[in-house]
């Protein structure tokens, strides 16, 4: 896994946690590291799975993969529904939330590959703050887009200025807290596992691998559940604004 301790020789002693390795264009605005390559690989795998499921849908030949994906998406829809105000809204935002869930889950599980983190090999993307911050910014921009769509520009600005400056600060603090929570939990887990494997290398790996599988799933569900609750909060405010608006005003501001 990423951060698995590398036991060095007598000259160095101890172990160290591996850091991302630059692969191409060092020092440029588009430096490619093994984290970048791992992200590309994760996206490629997910696109291949999506293409296989899409092909089975087009041909009408129901495969086990399609059935598993449909069951999984149905479970996620039911899970997110209470946070978004019902199944209809959960189905509306399921593509985003399911994509985030699967990406975080697979990216975290990449760290369980024995060679991950060594040399120029794979590196779990969720173990770097840049990745988790990017995911959190997607959630933030989605919340703002939903607010503008549901409340109109005037309603969106009014919402930002509500309890100014606390209301405005909250919108910017949320992505940082969301990203730091995911990054800190993943990095802390990997550091702890590295220490345990270093101390008891013969006994720790198997139970730790099982715990890491459970931990990765928990991180994915916590991140996306918080994202769903943020979006649900915007939808709830929009519903309250529409309910309190006089009938003579008509629909929502464009």
Please give the residue range of the domain that contains residue 51: 30-247
List pLDDT tens digits, range 87-103. 999 999 999 999 999 99
3-state secondary structure of 8: coil
List CB contacts of 24: < 8 A, sequence separation 6 or more: 31, 32
Number of domains in the chain: 1
pLDDT for 172 beyond 70: yes
- The reported pLDDT for the residue numbered 247 is 47
- Assess if residue 42 is contained within a domain: yes
Structural domain includes residue 97 = yes
Confidence grade of residue 201 (pLDDT, cut at 50, 70, 90)? low
Is 6 part of any domain? Answer: no
Q: pTM of the prediction?
A: 0.79
Please check whether residue 202 lies inside any domain of the structure: yes
- For the cut 80, the answer to whether the pLDDT of residue 217 exceeds it is yes
Using pLDDT thresholds of 50, 70 and 90, give the confidence band for residue 72. very high
- Residue 44: inside a domain, yes or no? yes
Average pLDDT over residues 78-89: 93
Q: Tell me how far CA of residue 118 lies from CA of 17, 105, 114, 115, 121, in angstroms.
A: 10, 21, 9, 6, 6
In a domain, 45, yes or no: yes
Q: Map tokens 């992505």 to a residue.
A: 175
Tell me whether residue 152 is in a domain.
Answer: yes
Residue bearing the bigger pLDDT, 174 or 251: 174
The pLDDT > 90 percentage for the chain reads 29
Confidence category of residue 10, pLDDT binned at 50, 70, 90: very low
pLDDT tens track for 133-169: 999 999 999 988 988 888 787 877 777 776 677 767 7
Q: Is residue 142 included in any domain, yes or no?
A: yes
Q: CA 212, CA 245: separation in Å to the nearest integer?
A: 50
Q: What is the mean pLDDT of the chain?
A: 78
């Amino acid at each position: 896994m990423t951060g698995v301790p590398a036991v060095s020789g007598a000259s160095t002693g101890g172990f160290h946690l591996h850091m991302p390795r630059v692969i191409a264009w060092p020092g440029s605005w588009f430096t490619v590291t093994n984290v970048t390559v791992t992200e590309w690989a994760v996206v490629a795998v997910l696109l291949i799975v999506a293409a296989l499921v899409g092909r089975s849908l087009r041909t009408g030949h129901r495969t086990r993969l399609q059935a598993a994906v449909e069951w999984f998406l149905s479970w996620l829809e039911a899970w997110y529904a209470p946070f978004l105000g019902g199944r209809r809204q959960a189905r509306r935002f399921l593509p985003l939330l399911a994509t985030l869930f699967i990406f975080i889950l697979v990216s975290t599980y990449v760290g369980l590959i024995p060679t991950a983190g060594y040399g120029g090999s794979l590196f779990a993307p969720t173990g770097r703050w840049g990745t988790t911050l990017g995911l959190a910014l997607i959630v933030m921009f989605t919340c703002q887009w939903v607010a503008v769509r549901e409340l109109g520009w005037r309603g969106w600005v009014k919402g930002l200025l509500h309890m100014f400056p606390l209301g405005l600060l909250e919108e910017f603090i949320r992505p940082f807290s969301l990203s730091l929570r995911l990054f800190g939990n993943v990095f802390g887990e990997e550091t702890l596992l590295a220490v345990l494997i270093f101390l008891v290398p013969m006994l720790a790996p198997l139970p730790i691998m099982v715990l890491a599988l459970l931990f990765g799933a928990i991180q994915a569900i916590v991140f996306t559940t918080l994202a769903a609750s943020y979006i649900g909060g915007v939808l709830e405010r929009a519903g309250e604004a529409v309910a309190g608006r006089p009938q003579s005003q008509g629909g929502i501001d464009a």
